[in-house]
Amino acid sequence: AQSVAQPEDQVNVAEGNPLTVKCTYSVSGNPYLFWYVQYPNRGLQFLLKYITGDNLVKGSYGFEAEFNKSQTSFHLKKPSALVSDSALYFCAVRDLGGSQGNLIFGKGTKLSVKP
Partner 1 sequence: DTAVSQTPKYLVTQMGNDKSIKCEQNLGHDTMYWYKQDSKKFLKIMFSYNNKELIINETVPNRFSPKSPDKAHLNLHINSLELGDSAVYFCASSPLVGRATDTQYFGPGTRLTVL
Nearer Cβ to partner 1, position 41 or 115?
Answer: 41
Among 25, 74, 78, 108, which residue sits at the site for partner 1 (rule: CB under 8 A)? 108
Q: DSSP of 18-82, one letter per residue?
A: -EEE--EEE-SSS--EEEEEE-TT--EEEEEEE-SS-SEEE-GGG-EEEEETTTTEEEEEESS--
> Which amino acid, residue 110?
K
Q: How far is the CB of 56 from partner 1 (least distance, A)?
A: 18
∠ Cα 96 98 99 (to 5°)? 100
Please count the other Cβ atoms lying within 10 Å of the Cβ belonging to residue 45.
Answer: 13
Question: How far does Cα 70 stand from its chain's mean position?
Answer: 18
Instruction: Check binding of 88 to partner 1 (CB under 8 A).
Output: yes
Instruction: Check binding of 45 to partner 1 (CB under 8 A).
Output: yes
Among 5, 44, 66, 73, which residue sits at the site for partner 1 (rule: CB under 8 A)? 44
Instruction: Check binding of 102 to partner 1 (CB under 8 A).
Output: yes
Among 25, 34, 67, 74, which residue sits at the site for partner 1 (rule: CB under 8 A)? 34
Among 26, 46, 68, 114, which residue sits at the site for partner 1 (rule: CB under 8 A)? 46
Instruction: Check binding of 78 to partner 1 (CB under 8 A).
Output: no
